[in-house]
Amino acid sequence: MTAIVSVNHLSKHFRDLKAVDDLSFSVNEGDIYGFLGQNGAGKSTTIRMLLTLIEPTDGDIEIMGMNLKTHRKEILRNVGAVIEKPDLYKYLTAQENLSLFAKISGVKVPSHKIKEQLELVGLIDRADSKIKTFSQGMKQRLGIAVALIHDPKLIILDEPVNGLDPQGIADIRNLILQLSRSMGKTVIVSSHLLNEIEIIANRVLIIDRGKKIQEGTATELFDPVNTLVELIVADVASTWEKLQQTPWNNNLYAKEGDTILLRMHRNDIPSLFKTLSSIDVQVYSLSPRHSLEDYFLSITTQNRHVETFAN
C-alpha cells in the first residue's frame, strides 16, 4: 500500500503542556482513516499541524511523498479540509458560496461542476437558498463540498458530526463512504464518537494525552481470544448454575440483570450455542459485545493507570 501521509515523531508543546508527544503514524492511499481520542487528546492539534495552521515543535510530516515544510503550497493544493464547523457566508446562497471558494482557491469551476458538487452532498434542491436558512447538518455537507471544490486527493474532517442530529450524522457518514468508495478519495476523520468510526473506518489510530496508543485495522486491534459475549436468557440464576457444571465455567465473567457475560475466543461461539441447547436454556439473544468502544476504553484506562503507577 502507498502511504499518502507519513507522520514521524511529531510533537507540539504549549509551554508545559505536551499537546502532541512523539506521534508517528501513516495513512494509506484510499483509506478512511479514523483518528480517535477523547476531547483534549491532541487530535485537533495534530490536524492543524497537517494543515500548516500551527507549526510543530518537533518531527516531520510527509504528504504525497513531499515534505510539508518545503512543499507546502503544492501539497495543500491537493488537500481539502473541514475543521469543526465550516466557515460559510450566511447571506450568500449555497451556489454562491461554492463559486466564491473556488475563486479563492484559484480554481476555475464551471457552473455545471458546482451543481454536480451540490448534487453529491445532497443540496442541489437548496442551491439558491441562503446559508442562514440551513440546518447545521446542511452546513456541514456544504462545508465538505467546499473542501472538494478543487478535487483534492486527501480530505481531512475534524469532528464532522459534532452537534448533528441522528439524520445529520447518517448523512455525513454516507457521504464519507461515498467519497472513498465512489470517488477514490483518501479521508482522515477525527472524532470522539467511536461507534461512527467503527462503521466507516478501515484503519484506526487511537491517541491519548498526545501519545499514540494503538494503530491498525479493526481486525488487528481486537483480540479474538478476549471476545466478550452477551447472553440474554429467561432465567439467569438457573442458566449460570447450569453453565458452572460445564467446561464453560471457566468462561463465565459476570451477571447483569437478565444478561450473562462470558469471555471466550470468537471461534468458540458456535460451540456455546450447542451447549445451551443441550442443557435446555431458553435464549433470547447471544451476541459478541466486544466493540471499538470496549477496546478504546480498556486501553486508554490502562494507559492512565500505568502513568499513575509510574508517577
| Chain region(s) in the chain for CATH 3.30.70 | 224-288
235-292 pLDDT, tens per residue? Answer: 999 999 999 999 999 999 888 888 898 888 878 888 998 999 899 999 898 877 655 6
Domain spanning 3-219, CATH architecture:
3-Layer(aba) Sandwich (3.40)
Confidence of residue 305 (pLDDT cuts 50, 70, 90): very low
Return the C-alpha torsion angle 85, 76, 60, 30, nearest 10.
80
Average pLDDT over residues 15-32: 94
Q: What is the pTM of this model?
A: 0.76
Return the C-alpha torsion angle 276, 281, 285, 287, nearest 10.
-30
Is residue 260 helix, strand or coil?
A: strand
Q: At what angle do helices 94-104 and 136-148 cross, to 10 degrees?
A: 30
| Chain region(s) in the chain for CATH 3.40.50.300 | 3-219
- Are the C-beta atoms of residues 142 and 131 closer than 8 Å to each other? yes
What is the predicted pLDDT for the residue at 310?
A: 38
151-199 pLDDT, tens per residue? Answer: 999 999 998 988 888 888 888 999 999 999 999 999 999 988 777 887 8
Long-range contacts of 11-20 (CB under 8 A, 24+ apart): 11/56, 11/57, 11/58, 11/59, 11/210, 12/42, 12/45, 12/46, 12/49, 12/54, 12/56, 12/57, 12/210, 13/57, 18/209, 18/210, 19/45, 19/210, 20/45, 20/46, 20/49, 20/56, 20/210
What is the predicted pLDDT for the residue at 9?
A: 96
89-134 pLDDT, tens per residue? Answer: 999 999 999 999 988 888 888 889 999 999 999 999 999 999 999 9
Q: Which three cell numbers stand for residue 101?
A: 471558494
Q: Which amino acid is at 290?
A: H
pLDDT score of 209 more than 70: yes
Q: Which amino acid is at 137?
A: G
Domain spanning 224-288, CATH architecture:
2-Layer Sandwich (3.30)
Residues near 80 by beta carbon (within 8 Å), at least 6 away in sequence = 146, 147, 148, 149, 150, 152, 154, 155, 156
> Looking at 27-31, 209-213, 263-267, which range is the least confident one?
263-267
Which H or E element spans position 160? none
- Rounded distance, CA 142 to CA 134, Å? 10
Give me the phi and psi of 54, to 5 degrees please.
-135, 155
- Of the chain, the percentage scoring pLDDT greater than 70 comes to 90
What is the predicted pLDDT for the residue at 311?
A: 40
47-87 pLDDT, tens per residue? Answer: 999 999 999 999 999 999 999 999 999 999 999 999 877 88
